[in-house]
Each structure stands twice: as C-alpha cells, then as structure tokens.
Copies of this chain bind each other. A is one copy, B any other.
Amino acid sequence: MTTTSPEAVAGTIQDDPEALAAQIEQQMSDTIELLGRWRDSAGKKWGQVGLGSRPAIVVIDLARFWTQPEYAAYCPGAENTVAAVNDLLGHARSAGVPVVFTTQAYQSTARGLVSATGMARKFPGSGDLALGSRGTELDPALEVQEGEHLIVKTQSSAFAHTYLATVLHDAGVDTVILTGVVTSGCVRATAADSLANGFRTIVVPEAVADHLPGAHQWTLFDISTKIGDVVPLADVNDYLDRVGASTDS
C-alpha cells in the first residue's frame, strides 16, 4: 500500500473534475469534426435562416445565479460572456436595435401555487431563485440602460408564458439575436421557441455559456442543424452596424 498502482493514479487523474471536463470538451470537439465529415459524405446539408432586416437582441439570464461562482448554476468563464454581450449591446444601441433582458425568478405559496411548476422538481437549485432574491439580479458588470425591458420568466424559454413574442412582433422584429446562459438550457429552449414563433434565430457563440462540459459545443452544433444560425460576434457586430447605417439614411 505504500506504492500507488497505475489504476489508482489514473483514477485520481481522471476523477479530477477539471481534467475530466477538458477531456470531455476535446472529445466533443473531435466528434463535431467527425459530424462535419459525416454530413459531407452523406450528402446532408442544413438550411441557413440568414439575417433579416429588423433584429432585436435577447439577453438570457445573465444574473448572479449563473454568473457568480458562489451560486449553483455558475458558468465558468461567465465574465467573458458578459463582456461579449456588452460589446454586442454597444453596436445594437448605436443601431437603434431593441434589447430585452431576462432573469428567472419564482413565486410560491403555502397553498400550493408554485410558479416554477415542473422546474422545481428537476432543478435542485431553483429554491435560490425566489422573486426579489439576490441570485435573480442581473450581473452588475452587464451594461443595462434605463428603459430597456427586463422580463422575469419562470421557464427555460424566454417565450414561455411571457409577452416576448408579442412585443417583438409588434415592433416589426424579424430576427432574434440570442445571447446569455446556459447554452443547452435556457438559450436552446428560447432558440427553439424563437423559431416556432417565426423569427430568424441567431446565436452568438462568444456570448453564450454553459456549466455542463461538452454541452456548449454540442448545443451550438445541434442548433445549427435544426433551429438557426450560429454567427460569430464580429460578424453580428458588423451586421448591426449595417442595420444602423441603413436606418440612419
């Protein structure tokens, strides 16, 4: 017992969650590369929804519960996500493009009404998201301007049981640019509903994040096959600048 067997060493190394996460990310990257080759060899292709003429920015759940390490749903690297969103928001505001933020918060009563409904069963941390509690506050580093909409949602999708679809349609919006957290959860659910509500749906990879290893990569790939387009931040910023220029003239 004074010596350490190779199995035990391997076990120790592999059971370090950070090392495991890195290994998972690498494998997922390899898998997605293979999927590109599969797509080409099988003659598959997926449509592009393209960028419309009247975009809006939707920023999902960049609240403390997801952006700060002391909370259960913290997404590693969230500060970079917030920075990318702030960059994009600058271009959006210059272009006069509307912005909607969301946070998630629950009400519940002793007499059995729980606004989290099913989430309360599946999502152990949902107890920390009481309406008005600190975890539901937008991250202080996120640049929010006076008068921008904040929608308090209760489900993964920002469209579920909210007025988001109506307010966007009413403003003539045809393209929803999605940012925030988490990629495989609220962002994906919002993307699916954005498609279902008829919007061209764009996800900005630098501006979304996840806490489940592999989930960010897979979800972006999966969204690109069936829901919308994954467009890099720099390209979205250029697009917003063009929208602003055409609106000015």
Contacts and interface: CB of A to CB of B under 8 A. Distances in A.
Interface of A: 14-17, 20-21, 23-24, 27-28, 30-31, 34-35, 37-38, 40-42, 45-50, 56, 93, 96-100, 107-115, 117-119, 121-124, 147-150, 154-157, 160-163, 165-172, 184-185, 189, 192-201, 212-215, 218, 222, 225-228
A169 B169 contact: yes
B124 A111 contact: no
A215 B39 CA distance: 13
Leading 7 A-B pairs by shortest Cβ distance: A117-B198, A170-B198, A17-B42, A161-B163, A155-B196, A169-B169, A117-B170
A147 B115 CA distance: 12
Number of copies of this kind of chain in the complex: 4
Nearest to A227: B122
Contacts of A168: 113
A213 B96 contact: no
Contact of A27 (B31, B160, B198): B31
Contacts of A194: 118
A47 B113 contact: no
B31 A123 contact: no
A34 B20 contact: yes
B118 A199 contact: yes
B34 A121 contact: no
Given A122-B46, A192-B192, A198-B166, A14 B27 contact: no
A195 B35 contact: no
Given A115-B167, A157-B196, A160-B196, 9 more contacts: A38-B213, A98-B113, A114-B170, A114-B171, A118-B197, A121-B200, A170-B198, A172-B172, A189-B192
B42 A34 contact: no
Nearest to A197: B166
